[in-house]
Amino acid sequence: MHVELVVPALFDAAAAAAAAAELLLARGRRRERDASTLEQWLGEAFGLGDAPLPAGALSALAGGLETGPGIWLRSDPVHLSANQDGVRLLPAEAFALAPADAAALAQALNAHFAGDFVLHVLQPGAWCLQLVRDMPPLQARPPLSLAGRGIDAELPDKRWHSLLNEIQMALHGHPANAAREARGEPAVNGLWLWGAGRLPAAANGPWHSFSAENLSALGLARLAHLRHRAPGTDAQTWLGRASEEGRHLVVLDDLRAPRALGEADALAAALQRLEERWFAPLLAALRAGRIGMVTVHVPDAGFASETVRSDLRRFWRRPRPLPAYAKRAAEDDAQVDARGGAA
């Protein structure tokens, strides 16, 4: 069995220790590529090239919606706040949104904009929008990548501005938002539109199974006709359901939100959970021969490492703190091996 992990932001928890992850990376064979976002990595891995990932259509497919030939967008709920420096964005990952509130807000927008678009709530913090009438092309980054930043330079084509402003006005006085503000919670006073496009005709991946929570990723797996499901709570549970043979991909993006939100303690805690629930059990399974290879991909660092059981005997490759692997070149590994072989 070959297990591949995709772990964005793995090298950003500078203060946290992860002995199993550090050992896997130290003993493995490093491969380098251009740094990318998770969405870019997934698009290339599934044969869609370097075009922007149509996250709206893929999320709709993952949610069981009939996508048809039309244009879809992700339209995630956000909180927008204005100050002297401009308008800043708080993504849904930064606040709690009850399913009932999400449904009520989307229902109000659907009633207000009937004939323009239809909103679908896939998860409280992940919505998608199906265009009914033609709109200009749209390119925008996911809201998580803009957390706490000014969005003036990130706004889409001016032809979208009237729609975005009208959405804000429609959300402004909604009872769900009034109740949220009364509880001291951020109002959902905007939608961030991104991931526009039609569903691709096909996608292809080399894996026998695919596990992720990310909706775009699950949509790609479904489009590629791969067996797919959520990863579950830990590697032990996942291994108990996985086939003993083949190549399996698991997306673990637990670190992206705390990294984007600048929450150092939450980032360290999330890494500790990944260490205990995934890296340590997979390292044990590799040592025991249950797994033949573990590959770790870190897209934002342009990093990948492949480790087989025999690699674990390369004792001269000493584990380092995770951030060091973002800087250490493959050529350095070769020099370490040369010294180790001569010892």
| Tens-digit pLDDT profile for residues 52-99 | 999 999 999 999 999 988 999 999 999 999 877 788 999 999 999 999
Which tokens hold the place of 25?
């990376």
DSSP secondary structure string for all residues of 262-296: T-HHHHHHHHHHHIIIIIHHHHHHHHTTS-SEEEE
Q: What is the CA radius of gyration of the chain?
A: 22
The CA distance from 180 to 174, in Å, is 10
Closest among 164, 166, 190 to 90, alpha carbons compared: 190
Q: Which of 133, 140, 135 is nearest to 75 (CA)?
A: 140
What is the reported pLDDT for 327? 77
Around Cβ 286, how many Cβ atoms within 10 Å? 23
**What pLDDT does residue 337 have?**
46
pLDDT at residue 342, rounded to an integer: 44
In tens digits, what is the pLDDT along the chain, a chain of 343 residues? 999 999 999 999 877 789 999 999 999 999 988 999 999 999 999 999 888 999 999 999 999 999 988 999 999 999 999 877 788 999 999 999 999 999 999 999 999 999 889 999 999 999 999 998 888 788 899 999 999 888 888 888 888 888 899 999 999 989 999 999 999 999 999 999 999 999 999 999 999 999 999 999 999 999 999 999 889 899 999 998 877 789 999 999 999 999 999 999 999 999 999 999 999 999 999 999 999 999 999 999 999 999 999 999 999 999 999 999 887 654 465 454 444 554 4
Residue 222, amino acid: R
CA distance 55 to 195: 4
Q: Fill in the DSSP letter of residue 95.
A: S
- Number of C-beta neighbours around residue 293 at 10 A: 16
Distance of CA 51 to the CA centre of its chain: 17
pLDDT of residue 333: 57
**CB 277 within 8 Å of CB 233:** yes
Q: Say if residues 28 and 190 touch (Cβ distance below 8 Å).
A: no
Residue 329's pLDDT is what? 57
Say what the pLDDT of residue 332 is.
60
| Every domain of the chain and the residues it spans | 2-50+202-342, 57-197
Residues 6+ apart with CB under 8 A from 47: 202, 203, 204, 205
Q: For residue 47, what are its two tokens?
A: 């044969």
pTM given for the model: 0.91
The pair phi, psi for residue 99, each rounded to 5°, is -55, -35
Residues in the chain: 343
Confidence (pLDDT) at 234: 94
pLDDT given at position 27: 95
CA 278, CA 252: separation in Å to the nearest integer? Answer: 9
